[in-house]
Structure 1
Amino acid sequence: MPNPVVFFEILGKDKAALESFYAGLFDWQMTPVESEAPDTYAMVSPGSGINGGLGKSMDGGPGHVTFYVEVANIAESLSLIESRGGKRVAGPDQMPNGPLIALFSDPEGRVVGLVEANSWRKG
């Protein structure tokens, strides 16, 4: 079964500057996440293609860009990743009103996200 890219995330030091840059450059629509402080995170609607998120990095660092791949089972995927030389970075974590996610690094250190299919929790 193919595993599609289903989400992207852009995190950095200054959410407002990133929001202004990407909205002005690509005409992306930004919607603040109500459960977060307005200056922390927003959902990104590019108009077509996959949706994403944009926000302030949690550790105050320079941030990163991550894409998320949908998998049937995160635990099994993380085991396979580790058996092939990758490393678990975070998770699995159930996002509030959202999916089960995890992060891993490939053998060269690039971080990629996983989203478990059918794991979305509403309210």
Structure 2
Amino acid sequence: MANPFVHVELLTSDVARAKAFYTGLFDWKLEEVPGMDYTLINVGEGTGGGMMQNPVPGSPSHWIAYVLVDDAAAATEKARALGATICKEVTEIPGIGWFSVITDPTGASLALWQMNPAYRNPAA
């Protein structure tokens, strides 16, 4: 596996303002995810993403990239062994996949993503 970047996500302090800004700046199509406070960003060609309210109060708004891995648990443990801090342990998005968030030894954060092989994207 080449471990490509597969998703980018905005954690923002003001979702409505971010939506207005990015749809004004780019030709992005936003789609609300039913039952979740999450907005998918459809960019047309290339890697899409999402945006949500930053879950850490007082933390500045920021983007985070997701990298595809074969096994989120194994990759998270490998990152820990290489000196990463685990900010979010492996978490399942039911039926879709698993992710974790790490901070590398230099202080940069990155998310690891494992797709559930049984998932079929209804938008595809």
Q: TM-score range by the shorter chain?
A: 0.7 to 0.9
Determine if the alignment matches structure 1 residue 9 to structure 2 residue 9: yes
Q: Give the partner amino acid of 2:105.
A: P
Alpha-carbon distance, 1:89 to partner? 1.1
The residue matched to 1:50 in structure 2 has which SS?
A: coil
Q: What is residue 65 of structure 1 aligned with on the other side?
A: 63
Give me the CA root mean square deviation. 1.7
| 1:67-82 mapped onto 2 (5 Å cutoff) | 67-82=65-80
User: What is the deviation of 1:63?
Assistant: 2.8
Is the Cα contact below 8 Å between 2:76 and 2:90 reproduced in 1? Answer: no
Distance across 2 between alignment mates of 1:20 and 1:65: 17
Tell me how far 1:53 sits from its aligned partner: 0.4
- The aligned amino acid for 2:114 is E
Distance 2:99 2:118 in 1: 10
| 1:85 shift after superposition | 1.5
Kept after mapping to 1: 8 A contact 2:10/2:64:
yes
State the SS of the aligned residue for 1:103: strand
Contact 2:4 2:67 in 1 (8 A): yes
Task: Give the letter aligned to residue 14 of structure 1.
Answer: D
Q: Which runs of 5+ in 1 are unaligned?
A: none
Question: For 2:61 and 2:42, how far apart are their aligned partners in 1?
Answer: 20
Q: Which residue of 2 aligns with 1:86?
A: 84
Q: Which position in structure 1 is the counterpart of 2:49?
A: 52
Alpha-carbon distance between aligned partners in 1 of 2:3 and 2:56, rounded to the nearest angstrom: 30
Give the aligned length.
Answer: 119
- For 2:118 and 2:63, locate their aligned partners in 1 and report how far apart those are by CA, in whole Å: 22
Structure 2: distance between partners of 1:47 and 1:120: 24
Q: List gaps (5 residues or longer) in structure 2.
A: none
Identity of aligned residues (%): 29
* TM-score, structure 1 as length reference: 0.87
